[in-house]
Amino acid sequence: MNKNDYTYEVSAAGRVNIIGEHIDYCGGKVLPAALSLKNTVYIRPNGTDKINIEWSTLPNKVSIDINNLENYRHLKYGNYQAGCALELQKAGHKLVGCDMYQDCTVPFGSGLSSSAAIEVSTIAALATVAGEKIDPVSIALMAQQAEHNYAGVNCGIMDQYASACGKKDMAMLLDCKTLECEYIPFDLGDYSLVIADCNKPHSLTVSKYNERRNETERALAILQKRLDINCLADVTLAQFSKYEYMLPQPLRKRAAHVINECQRVNVAEQALRVGNIELLGRLLNLSHASLKNLYETTGKEADALVEAAQSHPACIGSRLTGGGFGGSTISIVRREYVDEFCEYVFKRYEEATGYAAKFYNAQIADGLTIKKI
């Protein structure tokens, strides 16, 4: 691949979620950040009606016809790109035939949103090569639709929003109801953020994720019989303690997670603004315990990885980040002990599960970037 053969270089980021897990589709606030791990699309127009796709990681080449975009749902490779092109088309944007080369440094299955990075960069690249200018929030919304309609994951907006709108060294306080976002400097003082991957292929993610979303919707419908609310994130702690009896299990546990996690996001925002990193660390631990016991999205490996991290004296907080059922954890660790911490966690986790944890060296980075080559 020679980069100079292409016209544009378009990148979109993977993400971590610092706190606010399974909150986006409940209308609350979340606190993600975009990563330097990203998907880059090199693209050029080719004067045909075909989108030709190549990957840095695969020998395959795939060609899709822009007049027939519904037909590629079952492609093993290229279905995401077809889904993205289809969303652009449905929204009335122009599509042109093009050659694209995809290079993803977000590890697949890591829980760091490789799919959002692929979707956002692909939509932005297709729009750019067709001469269309689309704002990043609209790109994120189309990317979310591609995930719903083509990949079948009924996800919230957090991943695609972070991938499109992230900023270097900034955490994003995203209100998923209004789509307003405040940027807060991500300054951990004497601490570093360590990202560790369970490195276990996860399989049931899609159905379990959609099941959780469905449970929160059922809980909302029941609470709406008594409360004037539009989403679960609107429920206060006082209201919840009054009306939780209405919810059968497991809906009560699921709602308890959502309502308490929303409070943790508010406290975490303040902690980050004033540099109280110890408090942020404790909130991470509480969030993980809630995901484990109430929301039940962690699993044996993620729990073992978080327990290993939390048992190291230089670590002040650790939790599973993202949709769950495997994936990656984030830990806040005193900077001078990071290497020792990683060695320790690797060993303990391997003893507990037999898997080899992977650690990623990633910074908080810009979301979407579009460059003319």
Considering the complex, what minimum distance in angstroms separates the CB of residue 118 from ligand GLA? 13
Q: Give yes or no for residue 261 binding ligand GLA (CB under 6 A).
A: no
Q: Identify which of residues 129 and 272 has a Cβ nearer to ligand GLA in the complex.
A: 272
Q: Give yes or no for residue 327 binding ligand GLA (CB under 6 A).
A: no
Q: Give yes or no for residue 323 binding ligand GLA (CB under 6 A).
A: yes
d(Cα 292, Cα 299) in Å, to the nearest integer? 7
User: Quick one: DSSP state of residue 367?
Assistant: S
Residue whose token pair is 């290993």: 308
Considering the complex, what minimum distance in angstroms separates the CB of residue 327 from ligand GLA? 9
| Binding-residue pattern over the window 6 to 35 for ligand GLA, x denoting contact by CB under 6 A | -----------x---xx-xx----------
Distances (CA, A) of 32 to 75, 170, 194, 303: 31, 9, 15, 21
Q: Give yes or no for residue 83 binding ligand GLA (CB under 6 A).
A: no
Considering the complex, what minimum distance in angstroms separates the CB of residue 266 from ligand GLA? 16
d(Cα 73, Cα 176) in Å, to the nearest integer? 28
Helix ranges (H only) for the chain are: 79-90, 114-129, 136-146, 158-165, 205-223, 237-243, 251-274, 277-290, 300-310, 338-353
d(Cα 109, Cα 327) in Å, to the nearest integer? 6
Q: Identify which of residues 206 and 352 has a Cβ nearer to ligand GLA in the complex.
A: 206
Considering the complex, what minimum distance in angstroms separates the CB of residue 111 from ligand GLA? 7
331 - beta bridge partners? Answer: 194, 318
Q: Give yes or no for residue 281 binding ligand GLA (CB under 6 A).
A: no
Q: Give yes or no for residue 254 binding ligand GLA (CB under 6 A).
A: no
Q: Give yes or no for residue 150 binding ligand GLA (CB under 6 A).
A: no
- Paired sense of beta strands 61-65 and 50-55, if any: antiparallel
Q: Give yes or no for residue 166 binding ligand GLA (CB under 6 A).
A: no
d(Cα 122, Cα 101) in Å, to the nearest integer? 10
- Find the catalytic residue in 99, 159, 234, 303: 159
At residue 26's C-alpha, the angle toward residues 22 and 29, to 5°, is 75
Q: Give yes or no for residue 322 binding ligand GLA (CB under 6 A).
A: yes
Considering the complex, what minimum distance in angstroms separates the CB of residue 11 from ligand GLA? 19
Number of residues that bind ligand GLA (CB under 6 A): 11
Considering the complex, what minimum distance in angstroms separates the CB of residue 185 from ligand GLA? 22
Q: Give yes or no for residue 156 binding ligand GLA (CB under 6 A).
A: yes
Binding residue for ligand GLA, selected from 43, 82, 100, 155, defined by CB under 6 A: 155
d(Cα 350, Cα 199) in Å, to the nearest integer? 11
Q: Give yes or no for residue 119 binding ligand GLA (CB under 6 A).
A: no
Catalytic annotation present for 197? no
Q: Identify which of residues 9 and 24 has a Cβ nearer to ligand GLA in the complex.
A: 24
Q: Identify which of residues 9 and 159 has a Cβ nearer to ligand GLA in the complex.
A: 159
Q: Identify which of residues 212 and 348 has a Cβ nearer to ligand GLA in the complex.
A: 212
Q: Give yes or no for residue 197 binding ligand GLA (CB under 6 A).
A: no
Distances (CA, A) of 313 to 65, 285, 366: 56, 14, 32
- Paired sense of beta strands 50-55 and 98-104, if any: parallel
Q: Is it true that the peptide bond before 32 is cis, omega within 30 degrees of 0?
A: no
d(Cα 53, Cα 67) in Å, to the nearest integer? 16
Q: Identify which of residues 22 and 334 has a Cβ nearer to ligand GLA in the complex.
A: 22
Q: Which stretch binds ligand GLA (CB under 6 A): 151-159, 241-249, 339-347, 350-358?
A: 151-159
324 and 299 Cβ atoms separated by less than 8 Å: yes
Considering the complex, what minimum distance in angstroms separates the CB of residue 77 from ligand GLA? 21
15 - beta bridge partners? Answer: 34
Residue whose token pair is 């969030």: 287
Q: Identify which of residues 29 and 312 has a Cβ nearer to ligand GLA in the complex.
A: 29
Q: Which stretch binds ligand GLA (CB under 6 A): 78-86, 152-160, 187-195, 233-241?
A: 152-160
At residue 109's C-alpha, the angle toward residues 139 and 35, to 5°, is 50
In the complex, the residues that contact ligand GLA under the rule CB under 6 A are 17, 21-22, 24-25, 155-156, 158-159, 322-323
Looking at the annotation, which residues are catalytic?
159
